[in-house]
Amino acid sequence: MDAVYDCGYTLSDFFSFFLVSGVAEAFGKGNPKYVAELNGLGLTMERLLHLYPTLHEADLTKFVTVADHVTAQNAAGGVTNLQRIRKAAGMTQKGLADESDVSLRMVQLYEQKNKDINKAGALTLAKIARVLGCRIEDLLENELPGV
């Protein structure tokens, strides 16, 4: 609901935008970017289930505190978007390499930030994105502050 108020839209308008944006379709298909974690929060369904026994009776503010801690740890950890998306999709580096026809070494170099994925060829990015069920821009690293 915060997004509705922050954007200044009515709930009906916001829902209409959601439907035509492609996000609703991706969510319906189970795309892990929208279902699990790929927005960068680091709160996968697996992680939430792990926290459930501890937090299921806790106050909502306690959950928010723990969630903030998890996201801060993930941001500090330097995990690349590619690695986060690949893991959320339940794939190994080798599995991604085999299915995308991108070399295992290349996948490793992108995830270790030894090769800049932002400078990767469009075909390479398209192959990886297709296998992971995400958009090419989801794989790119944000280099500008606040982006």
pLDDT at 143: 57
Q: Which domain, by its residues, includes 53?
A: 31-139
> Is residue 58 domain-resident?
yes
Token digits of residue 102: 């991108």
Q: Establish if 8 belongs to a structural domain.
A: yes
- What pLDDT score was predicted for residue 42? 56
Same domain, 52 and 80: yes
Contact by Cβ (8 Å): 140, 117? yes
pLDDT at residue 118, as a whole number? 93
**Residues 52, 104 share a domain:** yes
pLDDT at 79: 84
- Is residue 75 domain-shared with residue 17, that is, in the same domain? no
| CA separation, residue 16 to residues 9, 12, 27, 34, 134 (Å) | 10, 6, 15, 17, 22
The pLDDT, as a whole number, for residue 15 is 73
Residues 123 and 61 in one domain: yes
CB 97 within 8 A of CB 72: no
Rounded distance between C-alpha atoms, residue 70 and residue 17, angstroms: 30
Looking at the structure, do residues 19 and 64 belong to the same domain, yes or no? Answer: no
pLDDT at 144: 42
Task: Please tell me the predicted confidence (pLDDT) of residue 35.
Answer: 56
Residue 18 sits in the same domain as residue 37: no
Residue 50 is part of a domain; what is its CATH number?
Answer: 1.10.260.40
- Is 10 within a domain? yes
Does the residue 147 lie in any domain?
A: no
C-alpha 84, offset from chain centre: 6
Question: pTM for this structure?
Answer: 0.52
What are the average pLDDT values for consecutive 10-residue runs of the chain, which has 147 residues? 63 75 69 53 64 80 77 68 90 96 95 92 95 92 54
Total tally of structural domains belonging to the chain: 2
Distances (CA, A) of 49 to 36, 46, 53, 75: 12, 5, 8, 21
40 falls within a domain: yes
